[in-house]
Amino acid sequence: MRAMRVHATGGPEALGLEEVPAPTPGPGQVQVRVAAIGLNYIETYQRTGLYRLDLPFIPGAEFAGTIEALGPGVSGWAVGDRVATAAGIGGYAELALAPADKLVRVPDGVALKLAAALLLQGMTAHYLAYSTFPLKPGHTCVVTAAAGGVGLLLVQIARACGAQVIGLVGSEAKAALARDAGAAEVILYMREPFAPRVRALTGGRGADVVYDSVGASTFEGSLDSLCPRGMLVSFGNASGPVPQFSPLTLSAKGSLFLTRPTLGHYVATAEELAWRSGDLFTWLAAGSLTVRVDREFPLEQAADAHRALESRQTAGKVLIIP
């Protein structure tokens, strides 16, 4: 089968198309014929070596497709079932593996491409807004990269929770998308320091929570945007990892809370996986949540998909099609 494999960490050119043996499902695993792969920023961290994986590896945790084979001990699933996962193994390929207990059934009427576009970033937005800092009417939240894959979904979900959303975006075009998704205010954070604007927009108080996926370049500004006892949810490093800092900073800036969550810990049980994915598909069917697919790349152009994502050209989801 065809797969994109990384033998040495580096730039996008580290992704090379290869003919490799089809993976065999082990105990508790299924083999999936991949219809669409969801590109996620984490794959750029893995490719560069910021997050270390054993070499060589085939990236790709998020994909949707149909079950081709069941490993030993798998029950409740059948060959031909339409499934998606955000915890798959070797997704940049024609065939990939997934733990059976991390599969989600794709409802009839939902295209596999749409499922691959929604699941990982949607469940991320869900846990951020419902569990990490549960949003309620009256809250003000700041969302960085508000027109990104996670961003556009988080803006919609935060708005639906009744929160006022201030979106940070990199361009006018992205500002329009964030506004359409439900952001009451948008700030072009490349053009002006955003913390004073957040303060002005909140009558001097500051935001209750900042959901920050940008990392190094926004960390200080995010802390400075918070109200006393507000929470910084640092959930990504698109501009690089946050440098080391002293916890005393949190007291000096208003007894702030800082957390660095990751999706795996928020879909650790079958109940949480079913809750979050179920909500997403329900909202999708009701039309209250929309997924913007920015563009699709064929598998052999996965390196170009990475280039587009890392150069901030994309707004919404990027799909890779094997």
Chain positions contacting ligand NDP, by CB under 6 A:
40-42, 121, 124, 145, 147-151, 169-170, 174, 213-214, 217, 235-239, 261-263, 309-310, 312, 314
Nearest Cα to Cα of residue 166 among 134, 197, 128: 197
**What whole-number distance in Å separates Cα of residue 117 and Cα of residue 39?**
8
Q: Closest CB to ligand NDP among 163 and 187? A: 187
Alpha helices in the chain (DSSP H): 42-48, 112-127, 149-160, 172-181, 194-201, 219-224, 248-252, 270-286, 302-310
Side-chain half-sphere exposure of 146, counting CA atoms within 13 A: 33
Select 85 or 237, whichever has its Cβ closest to ligand NDP: 237
The full length of the chain comes to 322
* Residue with smaller CB distance to ligand NDP, 42 or 89: 42
Smaller CB distance to ligand NDP: residue 6 or 227? 6
DSSP 131-171: IIS---TT-EEEETTTTSHHHHHHHHHHHHTT-EEEEEESS
Is the Cβ of residue 246 or residue 311 nearer to ligand NDP in the bound state? 311
Closest distance between ligand NDP and the C-beta of residue 153, in Å?
8
CB 203 to ligand NDP: min, Å: 26
Beta carbons of 227 and 202 less than 8 angstroms apart? yes
Residue 194 Cβ vs ligand NDP, minimum distance, rounded to whole Å? 11
